[in-house]
Amino acid sequence: MPSRHQYHVLHDHLKRDIMKGRYSVGDVLPSEHELAAQYDIARSTVRNALASLQREGYIEKKRGKGSIVAAARRALGILNYEGFSASAGRSSVQTKSVEEPKVAAWPADFYFELDAATQASGCIRFSRVRMIDHDYVMWETSYLPNQNLPRFVQLYRTKQSFFGFLARQYHLEVTGMRQEIKAMAATATVAKHLKLKSGTPILVIHRQYSTNRQGLHMYSTLYCNTNKYAMSNETNKNH
């Protein structure tokens, strides 16, 4: 078991308390000093946990006041690296499988550059559509190197949490992400998966994930219907 970091534990505790309504919008969380005392950890560790919650949009910090529970986003906070479920936050999400994991060659015109070893190892690919309240909002195809991930194709199913599966099965964790975003007109294929008209403006996002395993990157391409749900993120000076 990859022993969880203390800031991660605190982050999950606070997040669960917020989701469960123990704190409601506008409430002030215990101060950083208090949390440090309660959990018997250093304040910098508390700050690390709060920074994650802020990135995910659960809290706002006000100097002199405290950490305040923020209103649920109208938009999907998927522009941060924390998987889709964490980002969608307080909306109800459904997943539809498009293609279960299979081994293939890397696409010839792959968006990111691949090193020789990754290229040679081949590629595992799977694909799914995300819905919120019966609206088709995102078609996602993910790619990962077929390397040191024994039986991934047999074990993983697209309805499970991808990041959660990787953590449980391989102690593999996503540590960061790089992404590029463009607008385009929906092609026939995209239109089919998202149930919209060809030519509708959509977002396409190309992502590269970094992991705690050096040299192992994963990739996703996301096509997003932003008609109803915009994509959002927030960035701050200190995190």
Partner DNA sequence: CAGTGGTCTAGACCACTTT
Partner DNA sequence: AAGTGGTCTAGACCACTGG
Taking each helix axis from N to C terminus, what angle separates 43-55 and 32-39, rounded to the nearest 10 degrees?
Answer: 120
Compare residues 62 and 157 and give the one whose CB is closer to DNA. 62
Token digits for 41? 């950890």
Compare residues 54 and 225 and give the one whose CB is closer to DNA. 54
Q: Count residues contacting DNA (CB under 7 A)? A: 29
Residue 210 near a copy of itself by CB under 8 A: yes
Could you tell me which stretch among 44-52, 92-100, 153-161, 195-203 binds DNA (CB under 7 A)?
A: 44-52
Out of 20, 63, 134, 151, which residue is the one contacting a copy of itself (CB under 8 A)? 63
CB of 97 to a copy of itself, least distance (A): 25
Cα-based distances in Å from 74 to 63, 85, 130, 202, 224: 25, 15, 17, 18, 15
Residue 212 near DNA by CB under 7 A: yes
CB of 98 to a copy of itself, least distance (A): 21
Q: What letters, b where the CB count within 10 A reaches 16 and e where it falls short, cover 185-223? A: ebeeebbebbebeeeeebbbbbbbbbbebeebbbbbbbb
Site for DNA in 22-41 (CB under 7 A): 29, 31-34, 40-41
C-alpha R_g of the chain: 19
Site for DNA in 177-196 (CB under 7 A): none
Indicate which of DNA, a copy of itself, none lies near residue 109 (CB less than 5 to 8 Å, by partner kind): none
> What pairs with residue 134 in β-bridges?
none
Task: Please tell me the distance from the alpha carbon of residue 224 to that of residue 205, in angstroms, as a whole number.
Answer: 8
